[in-house]
Structure 1
Amino acid sequence: MHLLLERPDYPFFLRGADGNAALVNAQRLTRSFIIAPETLQEHWPIVDARLMQPSDLDALLALQPELIVLGTGASQQFPPARVMAHCLQQGIGLEVMTNAAAARTYSILAGEGRRVVAGFLFPAPPEVAAGSTVGGE
């Protein structure tokens, strides 16, 4: 049997994710990010779904999706109801799941040509969570 890696016909494809990292094309990401087939925003400052505000979805909504997939890390964590309502008021679905499940769901929908956007959450690195800066300055 001969196996070939079939690459999609869009620039950014998600190869997988878990609670610690994601692989987009050949790039390993360990901080929260947003992906759509034509867009990759590597620095999304959200680290905990439970603390999200409706405005935290603005970067995803700006991409005009029909559906948002939210990967919340190694475990499923729902954002506050007002965040979910913000999407529904605009007629956009919001599906919340673990990063691994979100990666699979996003990849299937993107491969079908759907207008899907995904946000993946990763916990803040210890130096950021502790409030220190790189180099200890």
Structure 2
Amino acid sequence: MIQPRSTMKLQPDFAPDTQMVSAYGPGYVEVNGVRHTQACVFAPQQAPKPWGVDRITSLQTSHIDALLLDPLPEVVLIGTGQRQHMLAPALMRQLMARRIGWEVMDTAAACRTYNILAGEGRQVLAALMIE
């Protein structure tokens, strides 16, 4: 009989306080089982906090500046609601100046991408608009 040499664990190990998206849908995002119905910002080691952006047309440079948390993220994922919207380059200048990667996508895609990057141990920040 052949004995296995080792076992493979298919689920990543997360610290119990790691912030992960547990569900999302029209009008909400759940992070660690807590439902959020307004725009929020969070990172693996930073609990969600309000972002103050109700729609893409109200996004200003001050909202982007609020994403420059300590420690600085490697990458910022901006979820723009149910549809992806392009952002003016002027809004991204602060992130580019600090050499922080960024990606703009619909909120559902941002949730999925966030979980993948956070699961890899990356310093990712999600800034999600919720419609």
**TM > 0.5 fold call:** yes
CA change 1:75–1:62 in 2 (3 A) is: same
- Bigger CA radius of gyration: 2
Q: How far apart, in 2, do the equivalents of 1:91 and 1:8 lie?
A: 27
- Where does the alignment leave 5 or more consecutive residues of structure 2 unmatched? 1-10
Q: 2:60 aligns with which of 53, 57, 61?
A: 53
Contact 1:47 1:121 in 2 (8 A): yes
Calculate percent identity across the aligned residue pairs.
Answer: 34
Runs of 4+ in 1 over 3 A off after TM superposition: none
Q: How far apart, in 1, do the equivalents of 2:48 and 2:83 lie?
A: 22
TM-score if structure 2 supplies the norm length?
A: 0.81
Cα deviation for residue 121 of structure 1 reads 0.5
Q: 1:97 aligns with which of 105, 108, 125?
A: 105
User: What SS does structure 2 have at the residue aligned with 1:9?
Assistant: coil
Corresponding residue for residue 38 of structure 1: 45
Greater share of residues in strand: 2
- Where does the alignment leave 5 or more consecutive residues of structure 1 unmatched? 124-137
Contact 1:10 1:37 in 2 (8 A): no
TM-score if structure 1 supplies the norm length?
A: 0.77
Residue deviations 1:31-51 (CA, integer Å, cap 9, x gap): 000010111233210122343
Amino acid in structure 2 at the alignment position of 1:22: V
CA change 1:7–1:56 in 2 (3 A) is: same
Cα deviation for residue 58 of structure 1 reads 2.3
Cα deviation for residue 99 of structure 1 reads 0.9
The count of residues paired between Structure 1 and Structure 2 equals: 120
CA change 1:14–1:97 in 2 (3 A) is: same
Corresponding residue for residue 84 of structure 1: 92
